[in-house]
Amino acid sequence: KQYLESIPHATVWEGQILPGGVTTPDKMKAMQDMVFDENDVIIVSYPKSGTTWVSEVLSAIAYEGNTEKLKQVRMDERVPWIEMDHRCWDPNSPVQASAKGPVRDGKKQIWFSHLHLDYLPPTARAGKCKVVYVARNPKDNAVSYFHFHRLTTFMGLQKDMKWNDYFPLFCSGYICVGNWFKHTLDYWKFTRNNPNAKFVVYEDLKKDLMGEMQSLEEFVGIPLTPEQRLEVVKHCSFDSMKDNKMTNREGLAVFDHGETKFMRKGIVGDWKNYFTVAQNEAFDELYKSKFEGTGLSFEFE
Ligand code: A3P
């Protein structure tokens, strides 16, 4: 209850907490009518799993490696957030009338969303467009999301939030966007043996960005040259994205970069600085109970 009250204008809809500044029940319904086709790629993720990173990589592919051109358009313009950006779903918007995104000067229109699979617009679920799901090990995901609550107005800019108060919310799923386990496992099943869907993992991007990028190129059907690939890998490094005003989300009114940054640490294993021994044991039990037999596992360091 306390959490719900701390999120500005939140509504509970079909058991989900919807932050008012981002989405509303009306928007959730309107989004169901969005029409996607083969020119669209939707990146879907639980918040803080590397959405922005994959958005930049896929944008660079859509722009055929032209990073100079990419640097001229802000991320939120070229990769609109479906449930936030009224231009995506508003039936009166000229953009929606053309059934395309706000910016489409690359070869594909890239979108992103945090919607659970159950609420992804039916044309996307039916394979009319490509879907890329980005997942991250849940311990680091939880820590990053904790900091995000302290960063953004749509989470109530919770500068005083304590890790120990937040941890049970993440575990129970009583939190904006809901249950991490359900989100991830539903999309894991959806992407299995689905030629229009791909499951991408943050820890794999950290290990081999070049290889993961090549696989994304194949998936969307836009091959880059080895030179372009080298340029894009450099352009998409954490340090480069952190300093790039078009990707680091600085200057956006909904973020207060005083306490923490959107581009915060960009590492694997930061959870060790937050989880107590007891929390870690409890989380491992929960993870085991949810993941046993699914064929999915994460690396935590
Ligand atoms: P941390 O808070 O752990 O640093 P999202 O885009 O889904 O909101 O995810 C944000 C997380 O991805 C943040 O994690 C951010 O630092 C990290 N990230 C963004 N770009 C990255 C990059 N190029 N390399 C590594 N991590 C990156």
Say how many domains are in the chain. Answer: 1
Question: Greater confidence, 180 or 260?
Answer: 180
DSSP type of residue 111: E
Q: Report which ligand 1 atom has the smallest distance to the Cα of 147.
A: 2
Which pLDDT score, from 0 to 100, does residue 33 have? 84
Going from the Cα of 264 to the center of ligand 1, the distance in angstroms, rounded, reads: 7
Task: Indicate the SS3 state at residue 81.
Answer: strand
Residue type, 212: E
Position 46 in a domain: yes
Residue 300 lies in a domain: no
Residue 301 lies in a domain: no
φ/ψ of 12, rounded to 5, equals -100, 125
Rounded distance from Cα 201 to ligand 1 centre (Å): 12
Whether ligand 1 lies within 6 angstroms of the CB of 45 is answered as: yes
H-state helical runs in 93-225: 94-97, 122-125, 138-149, 163-172, 180-191, 202-207, 209-220
pTM of the model as a whole: 0.95
Confidence at residue 89, expressed as pLDDT on a 0 to 100 scale? 61
Which whole-number Å values give the CA distances from 69 to 63, 233, 254, in the listed order? 8, 16, 26
Q: What is the percent of the chain with per-residue pLDDT over 70, rounded to a whole number?
A: 93
The CATH number linked to 191 is 3.40.50.300
In a domain, 286, yes or no: yes
To test the pocket of ligand 1, the residue of 238, 242, 261 to mutate (highest count of ligand atoms within 8 Å of its CB) is: 238
The reported pLDDT for the residue numbered 93 is: 57
- The per-residue pLDDT for range 239-257, each reduced to its tens digit, is 999 999 998 888 887 888 8
| Domain assignment present for 6 | yes
Q: What's the confidence (pLDDT) of residue 101?
A: 52
- Catalytic annotation on 86? no
pLDDT of residue 90: 62
Would you mind telling me the total number of residues written for the chain in this entry?
301
112 part of a folded domain: yes
Q: Hey, whose CA ends up nearest to atom 12 of ligand 1?
A: 50
pLDDT class of 88 with cuts at 50, 70, 90? low
Residue 299 in any domain: the answer is no
Average pLDDT over residues 124-139: 97
Q: Supply the range of the domain harboring residue 58.
A: 2-291
Contacts for 25 with CB less than 8 Å, ≥ 6 apart: 11, 13, 18
What share of the chain in percent tops pLDDT 90? 70
Residue-wise pLDDT tens digits, 11-50: 999 989 998 888 888 888 888 888 888 989 999 999 999 9
Note whether residue 38 is domain-resident: yes
Q: Which of 118, 267, 136 is nearest to 178 (CA)?
A: 118
Tokens linked to 106: 């690359």
